[in-house]
Structure 1
């Protein structure tokens, strides 16, 4: 679904991502792990159009997206979440999500000034998409609460819903379980499985190894911006380079 070839991003003399080639497989849960500073979030930023690569290429469903802007990448069907979930805290949860589907609308200033039929129809569609996304992540009951009043775990689910409201085919999740307890982590893992079961493809960055090892179909490991391993969870657990660089002996296959 996604093919990355020799991707490199330099910031001055620092190679945050260095000659990385990888694939994201359709309909599966793909994971990226590695120490802090390994280049994982930069890698996501390159895929989603936040940064332009220094060299290399990114192809999504056969189309070159290497130099597209973030909004163009999103329209093609790649959505993402961020490590920190930033919401409009003084707006309701539902109103936060209505923003997500706006990238699929065509109304402009003239439509707003004249309250056109197209504007009204698109607003109705955006609201429906927001409600569907909230229902999918199990948060319909907080639709009208202020975003500033919800829990950290609920904010994580709202971030999932915001990504889903853009009608994606590939969802990039950056540390989706950061800052939540073990029970909540399991709930988010179940939600990720639900997303894939519904036809989506997921690629996630995560530091919680128990979650990753039980969830991912394929794992890529980055260290100092370079890919040092790629394979199944069992292969990654048994890889000496990964154990030495990141996992430690407690996660090694015995």
Structure 2
């Protein structure tokens, strides 16, 4: 099993945000988590990526229990994640923003940086080369020298993808990657996710754009009030009574 959660639960005081969720993220596929607002989707992401510690239950990555590991150690294992709000260094170039991502894979310390040692210079070149490689992959080589604050919302989304890819992940968690962009741009990001899977990277995303998910995802989990109410293929989810009642029966784009 690639990534598995067992009885995963998170309480915030009296509120149960995620309740006893068992889910397996399948390697080499596009896995999606959907559900109404407040269903516990982002909390689930935060638990798997180490931003939150579970109240109970386990997170297993490739047979290793990572439940209580801090997020930077989980990232080192090959788990990357983007956030709903794309926070970039607005006054830095696109290239410099992405260079930061590969620092996770380098060994230089502050002293190396101050003294500009051979190791620092070698790793700096490696980070730059990696940043250019992933920017090419996401289709942004034309804007590498632009300030991040001056680029479009869709380009910022692609920079967030590039940042995640610069960490050389095995799996990328994407938190609402298509929020705030138009349908044509949404299709472009969907193509980029398929391209990531072809490259051998597993994708797991939270998304509200149902049309996109139903066309894109190999496997879908539906959360409602923190509980898993369904799991399966697009077809199975669309025909599931509990899902229709809890989610699709209301505003399908909510």
Name the TM-score, length of structure 1 as normaliser.
0.97
Distance in 2 between the 1:91 and 1:52 partners? 32
Shift of 1:62: 1.0
Match of 1:152 in 2: 153
Look up the SS of the partner of 1:89 in the other structure. coil
Task: Indicate the larger mover: 76-85 or 110-119.
Answer: 110-119
Distance in 1 between the 2:65 and 2:7 partners? 14
Match of 1:27 in 2: 28
Match of 2:40 in 1: 39
Match of 2:12 in 1: 11
User: Is 1:233 matched up with 2:202?
Assistant: no
Distance in 2 between the 1:148 and 1:160 partners? 17
Shift of 1:109: 2.3
Look up the SS of the partner of 1:66 in the other structure. coil
Q: Where do 1:31-180 residues align within 5 Å?
A: 31-180=32-181
Shift of 1:249: 7.5
Unmatched 5+ residue regions in structure 1? none
Distance in 2 between the 1:66 and 1:15 partners? 18
Shift of 1:250: 8.6
Match of 1:207 in 2: 208
Unmatched 5+ residue regions in structure 2? none
Shift of 1:64: 0.9
Distance in 2 between the 1:139 and 1:71 partners? 27
User: Is 1:221 matched up with 2:253?
Assistant: no
Look up the SS of the partner of 1:176 in the other structure. coil
Aligned residues: 251
Shift of 1:206: 0.2
CA RMSD for the aligned pairs? Answer: 1.0
Distance in 2 between the 1:104 and 1:21 partners? 31
Task: Indicate the larger mover: 111-120 or 13-22.
Answer: 111-120
Shift of 1:114: 2.1
Q: Cα distance 1:249–1:91, how it changes in 2: closer, same or farther (>3 A)?
A: closer
Partner deviation per Cα, 1:106-131 (whole Å, 9 max, x = no partner): 11122123211111111111111110
Partner deviation per Cα, 1:47-103 (whole Å, 9 max, x = no partner): 111000000000111111100111000000000100000100000000000000111
Distance in 2 between the 1:131 and 1:19 partners? 42
Shift of 1:165: 0.3
Distance in 2 between the 1:164 and 1:250 partners? 33
Distance in 2 between the 1:211 and 1:18 partners? 27
Look up the SS of the partner of 1:211 in the other structure. helix
Q: Cα distance 1:250–1:7, how it changes in 2: closer, same or farther (>3 A)?
A: closer
Distance in 1 between the 2:162 and 2:111 partners? 30
